[in-house]
Structure 1
Amino acid sequence: MAPFIAGGLVALVVLVGVLVGVINGFDKTNAGEVAVVRNGGLFDNKRIRQVVSPGSGMTWIGLWSSMHRYPSQQRFYTLTADQERGGRPGIDVAHSPSSDGVDMGIEATIYFTLNTDRAAISSFDDKFGTRDFLGADGERRYPWDGIDGWNSFFDAVVRPIIDNDLRVQINNFRCAELVSSCALVQNGTIRPDTGKPAANGQANNTNIAKVQQAINDSLQADLRDTLGGDFFQNLKFNLVRVSLPANVQEAVNKAQAAFAQVSEAQAKVAQAQAEADANKKRQEGYNACTTCAQIDMIKALPPGLTTYAPGAGTTVPIK
């Protein structure tokens, strides 16, 4: 009797295992995600079994197979020059040196979509979905392991390529060619005739647009060549602005304040000169017309007076 009980228990365990495998063998994707299915049975290989499209219905993926879920909708990656504004400490902050050695801050957003073509997404999973990457929090995750896993992959693999493109393009320009106020604290960039920066805002905007276009022209090809596949599509780099380091910006603010004080002093000198010229002309008029001088004196008297006595026993009634 005992062997029959033992055999029954073994059969029950096997049946439960099969039922669990069958139940877990069905899965589906949400809208906005694509899944790469890999075999996972005890006697299966670990190769890719199939690709499940975004927003699928319940799909048979095989016994004990695993689904690697990746984003299929447009995504964006933000770069900021401000340590306090980065989405993750030290990760989203971007700086690149200008040709004259100033560490320029970058404010930009990169828009892209992951290539969900079966061959492309399968190749992507082979190259990167089987590896884990160190995140900003010190944890290692796979690219398909939620948003943190995707960010860990992107920071480790894609971000260095973006930084390299930025460094190459920003290094084509001097600081004052990207931020005109940089000229205030650099020798040889102030025009002696005006005392103002040689660069101007319009030229700066044109140069920033050149940087943006150059990165848009090169980044997708650089990603394809470096990663070994055309994994990213519809890539758009939007460069918002280029800013100065905090210490340089502080020096610029002080220089601008000094220029403002000089301008104020120059305005006062010009005003005093204008008033002197006006008084001179007015006196010349009074010399030619003494009565006019008396009339203006009477007009200048404070209101409420009824009699004006200029002296020598002379009084003039005021109406």
Structure 2
Amino acid sequence: MVLTRMPSRRTAIIAAVLLVVVGVPVLTALLGGFSRTGGGEVAVVRNGGFFDNNKIRQLIDPGSGRTWVGLYSTVHKYPAQQRFYTITSDAKKGERTGVDVVTVPSSDGVSMGIEGTLYFTLNLDHQALRAFDDKYGTRKFRGGDGETRYAWEGDEGWSGFLDQIVRPVIDNDLRGQINSFRCAELVSSCALVQNTAQQRPAKGPQNNQPQSNNGNIAKVQDAINTSLAADLETTLGGKFLTNLHFNLVRVTLPDKVQDAVDRAQAAFAQVSEAQAKVASAKAEAAANKARQDGYNKCPTCARIEELKALPQGITVYAPGNPNGALLPKN
């Protein structure tokens, strides 16, 4: 009869510890060696691990299935759909917290607030994505909350990248374009509070009439769309953002200037009202004079008009007598 010796308690404990120390990390690494992307994201995979380098291993296109990316690799996921960057005075809609307006001077020195939205798409070309991740996926950007994140760390990280890298280019382009127009050429009411000596008549395409504000704003928008793509490519060091389109939503005046405009408009309204009253009085006086001239030429006509003006029901009428008009008794 052969007796089998049961493993000691100490041996069982050691085996359990080895399973936890070795088995769990290995199992975790195996399970973490797979990744996939949703329909609106693209992934850049970098090598990792104890004995591996950190170079780009592969790219995963949008909407992929589960893909093997290797043990301990890092996956940088970026937005693959159209994105936008909004500059607005509405604290709830802008990319930055609070009121966010680009303030730039016009050619005649008036600070103007610019609101708009930049629409764009990340270049999904594999070579462009590799270069983009090398340049901007390996450094952190400070967000509006003061925290630093990588551009691929969710919406906060992506917004931090846009704020620090893309936003200065937008501001610079807006400054260059707005500075080529006078305030009144973009906001017509600005002419109400500017010195007359500073104003120069703007010539339009026909009849020497000033172009409309909307036309000038469209010119600014078109110029920005032309220059922004080249400026971003130069600044970023590659054509990383495509399908760029800037929509200029609104041009506003500083609070003090706008208050002055409001007061001027109220004053012009009062002047217009007074002029209307004067015109009405002149018209009434002219009508009375013409009427009197007619009566002078035709006394009978005047008497007829006088009779027509009498109240209904008169029984006796004696001109020249203060009691000449008698009404019938009830």
TM-score (norm 2): 0.86
Which of 61, 64, 69 matches 1:61? 69
- Does the residue aligned with 2:195 lie in a helix, a strand or coil? coil
Give the Å deviation of 1:189. Answer: 6.2
Give the Å deviation of 1:305. Answer: 4.0
- Does the residue aligned with 1:63 lie in a helix, a strand or coil? coil
Is 1:74–1:112's contact at 8 Å kept on the other side of the alignment? Answer: yes
Is 2:90–2:99's contact at 8 Å kept on the other side of the alignment? Answer: no
Question: 1:259 is matched with which residue?
Answer: 268
Which of 277, 301, 309 matches 1:300? 309
Which of 222, 227, 230 matches 1:221? 230
Is 1:82–1:93's contact at 8 Å kept on the other side of the alignment? Answer: no
- Does the residue aligned with 1:130 lie in a helix, a strand or coil? coil
For residues 52-131 of structure 1, the aligned pairs below 5 Å read: 52-81=60-89, 86-89=94-97, 92-131=100-139
Give the Å deviation of 1:206. Answer: 2.1
Give the Å deviation of 1:86. Answer: 3.9
* Unaligned residue ranges in structure 2 (runs of 5+): 1-7, 200-207
How many residues align? The count is 310
* Bigger mean CA offset, 246-255 vs 288-297: 288-297
For residues 278-293 of structure 1, the aligned pairs below 5 Å read: 278-293=287-302
Question: 1:194 is matched with which residue?
Answer: none
Distance, in Å, in 1 between the alignment partners of 2:66 and 2:318 is: 108
Which of 124, 144, 150 matches 1:142? 150
Asked if 1:17 corresponds to 2:25, the answer is yes
* Bigger mean CA offset, 11-20 vs 220-229: 11-20
Distance, in Å, in 1 between the alignment partners of 2:198 and 2:313 is: 58
Which of 152, 176, 195 matches 1:168? 176
Give the Å deviation of 1:11. Answer: 5.5
Distance, in Å, in 2 between the alignment partners of 1:225 and 1:276 is: 73
Segments of 4+ moved more than 6 angstroms: none
Query: Cα distance 1:309–1:95, how it changes in 2: closer, same or farther (>3 A)?
Result: same
Is 2:88–2:99's contact at 8 Å kept on the other side of the alignment? Answer: no
Is 1:38–1:67's contact at 8 Å kept on the other side of the alignment? Answer: yes
Question: 1:239 is matched with which residue?
Answer: 248
Is 2:92–2:98's contact at 8 Å kept on the other side of the alignment? Answer: no
Query: Cα distance 1:152–1:245, how it changes in 2: closer, same or farther (>3 A)?
Result: same
Deviations 1:205-232 (A, max 9, x none): 2221111111111101100011101000
For residues 15-54 of structure 1, the aligned pairs below 5 Å read: 15-54=23-62
TM-score (norm 1): 0.88
Distance, in Å, in 1 between the alignment partners of 2:294 and 2:103 is: 66
* Unaligned residue ranges in structure 1 (runs of 5+): 192-198
Is 2:193–2:260's contact at 8 Å kept on the other side of the alignment? Answer: yes
Bigger Rg, which one = 2
Give the Å deviation of 1:16. Answer: 2.3
